[in-house]
């Protein structure tokens, strides 16, 4: 008997073709060969489509793992059982060697490709995607964790009634003719959290991770003012009274419009992106008016206005990360803010690598990191509950 390893060799060859197809490195002849394999069996095409759907999150050994190596191994084991009895010891040894040598070679290939050392082993068990969660701080300092509707359903606070349902807060003004003192609440999202709030004037605000919004439970002044740290998307109701969003370094004045503000304290700039209507960004560099599709970028040295594609900067609202030429330092900061992990750059030069892509924020973190590895020169390791970048 001679061990037939052609099945495994073909699997490795096809897997290699698919991997190189995803890297745009196939010749015309190899593309035709892959096309023949796809048409040969519906199962082949189904496997190819499965890999195609997830190609950016796959490395070569993961593609190899999709092939039927287990059955190939069982085939070799079954063939080993067909060994014939040879009376002469020397002939028997030569015969067995002829069987075992290719088996040993094939098993070595399997060991290398099917059981690689994974530097990200265990990362998905420790690091989880974010979810809708927040902490509400009432005017008296009392804090309530808002997660899975655990908070009280209704709370009366001066001129308004607070309701919490379906992972969103809503404030309703109560009927009163008496002028009352302005009462402020603060909504804070942790790392890996997002939450929505409907203010008493009907304005809708969605907070991104690691952000906070301080606001009155009812608007009693001629100007509606809220205070933002971090990132939030605003859909402001037009009432005739100006609406002000204040952060550490700027104020945004609106009447009724939709816009996104990103004002994290650990980032070098503040971004204000206008979706609809008009807003005026007021800073120490003077006021500047934005039109739909404009973005204001405030740094320590300037306030610049430029046209952008707003969808890129509001992708987080639909559960996506959108990166366009972002440095690896920006990418890791964004991911850590949502997935809640610690990281460090073992290779400082990796900070300057750039990435462009759109990623689902509910994917396992390992899939995103492997996609980054496949499309850049960066490598990741997970150890002691921390990710290091090489």
Residues 6+ apart with CB under 8 A from 221: 182
> Mean pLDDT across the stretch 311-315?
93
Alpha-carbon dihedral 25, 27, 28, 34, rounded to 10 degrees: -70
pLDDT reported for residue 54: 56
Question: Residue 273 to residues 41, 250, 254, 353: CA-CA distances in angstroms?
Answer: 50, 14, 13, 25
pLDDT at 72 over 60: no
CA distance 338 to 321: 10
Sort strands 279-283 and 286-290 into parallel, antiparallel or unpaired: antiparallel
277 closest CA partner among 233, 305, 236: 236
Burial of 6: CB neighbours in 10 Å, binned 0-12, 13-18, 19+: exposed
244 closest CA partner among 254, 235, 229: 254
pLDDT reported for residue 86: 42
> Mean pLDDT across the stretch 97-117?
48
Quick one: which H or E segment has residue 322?
strand 320-327
Token pair 């028997």 is at which residue?
Answer: 92
Where residue 45 falls among pLDDT bands split at 50, 70, 90?
A: confident
Residue pair 371/57 in contact (Cβ under 8 Å)? The answer is yes
Average model confidence (pLDDT) across the chain: 82
pLDDT reported for residue 75: 46
Tokens of 353: 């690598």
CA distance 100 to 159: 84
Quick one: how far is CA 111 from the chain centroid?
32
318 closest CA partner among 274, 277, 271, 362: 362
CA distance 153 to 166: 10
CA distance 129 to 83: 53
Residue pair 161/155 in contact (Cβ under 8 Å)? The answer is yes
Tokens of 153: 């359903």
Residue pair 132/195 in contact (Cβ under 8 Å)? The answer is yes
pLDDT at 74 over 60: no
Where residue 197 falls among pLDDT bands split at 50, 70, 90?
A: very high
The percentage of residues in the chain with a pLDDT greater than 70, rounded to a whole number, is: 77
> Mean pLDDT across the stretch 112-121?
64
Phi, psi of 173 (to 5 degrees): -60, 140
pLDDT reported for residue 276: 95
**Bigger pLDDT: 101 or 15?**
15
Tokens of 150: 């655990």
Tokens of 35: 């096309």
pLDDT at 331 over 60: yes
Predicted confidence (pLDDT) per residue in 275-293, tens digit: 999 999 999 999 999 999 9
CA distance 136 to 208: 15
Tokens of 76: 């070799």
Residues 6+ apart with CB under 8 A from 235: 203, 204, 205, 258
Where residue 92 falls among pLDDT bands split at 50, 70, 90?
A: very low
Tokens of 6: 């052609």
Find the range with the poorest average confidence among 64-73, 260-269, 290-299, 319-328: 64-73
Rg (CA), the chain: 29
> Mean pLDDT across the stretch 101-116?
47
> Mean pLDDT across the stretch 339-354?
94
162 closest CA partner among 136, 190, 131, 182: 136
CA distance 345 to 336: 13
pLDDT reported for residue 28: 82
**Bigger pLDDT: 368 or 14?**
368
Give start and end residues of each alpha helix (H) in 284-344: 310-313, 328-339
């Amino acid at each position: 008997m001679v061990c037939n390893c052609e099945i495994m060799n073909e699997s490795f060859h096809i897997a290699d073709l698919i991997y190189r197809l995803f890297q745009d490195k196939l010749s015309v002849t190899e593309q035709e060969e892959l096309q023949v394999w796809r048409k040969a069996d519906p199962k082949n095409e189904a496997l190819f489509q499965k890999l195609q759907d997830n190609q950016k999150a796959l490395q070569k050994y993961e593609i190899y793992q999709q092939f039927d190596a287990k059955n190939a191994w069982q085939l070799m084991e079954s063939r080993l059982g067909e060994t014939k009895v040879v009376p002469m010891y020397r002939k028997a040894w030569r015969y067995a060697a002829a069987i075992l040598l290719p088996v040993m070679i094939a098993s070595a290939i399997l060991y290398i490709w099917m059981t690689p050392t994974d530097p990200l082993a265990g990362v998905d068990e420790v690091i989880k995607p974010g979810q809708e969660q927040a902490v509400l701080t009432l005017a008296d300092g009392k804090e309530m964790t808002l997660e899975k509707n655990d908070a009280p359903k209704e709370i009366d606070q001066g001129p308004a009634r607070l309701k919490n349902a379906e992972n969103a807060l809503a404030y309703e003004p109560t009927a009163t003719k008496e002028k009352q003192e302005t009462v402020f609440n603060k909504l804070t999202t942790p790392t890996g959290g997002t939450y929505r709030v409907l203010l008493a004037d009907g304005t809708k605000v969605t907070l991104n991770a690691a952000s906070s919004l301080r606001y009155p439970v009812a608007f009693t002044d001629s100007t509606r003012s809220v205070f933002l740290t971090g990132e939030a998307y605003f859909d402001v109701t037009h009432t005739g009274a100006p609406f002000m969003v204040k952060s550490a370094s700027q104020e945004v004045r609106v009447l009724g419009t939709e816009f996104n503000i990103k004002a994290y304290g650990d980032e070098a700039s503040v971004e204000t992106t206008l979706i609809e209507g008009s807003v005026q960004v007021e800073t120490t560099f003077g006021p500047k008016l934005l039109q739909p599709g404009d973005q204001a970028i405030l740094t320590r040295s300037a306030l610049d206005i430029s046209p952008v594609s707003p969808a890129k900067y509001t992708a987080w609202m639909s559960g996506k990360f959108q990166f366009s030429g972002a440095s690896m330092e920006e990418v890791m900061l964004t991911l850590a803010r949502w997935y809640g992990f610690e990281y460090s750059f073992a290779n400082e030069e990796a900070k300057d690598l750039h990435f462009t892509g759109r990623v689902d924020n509910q994917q396992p973190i390992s899939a995103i990191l492997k996609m980054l590895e496949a499309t850049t020169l960066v490598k990741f390791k997970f150890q002691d509950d921390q990710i290091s970048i090489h």
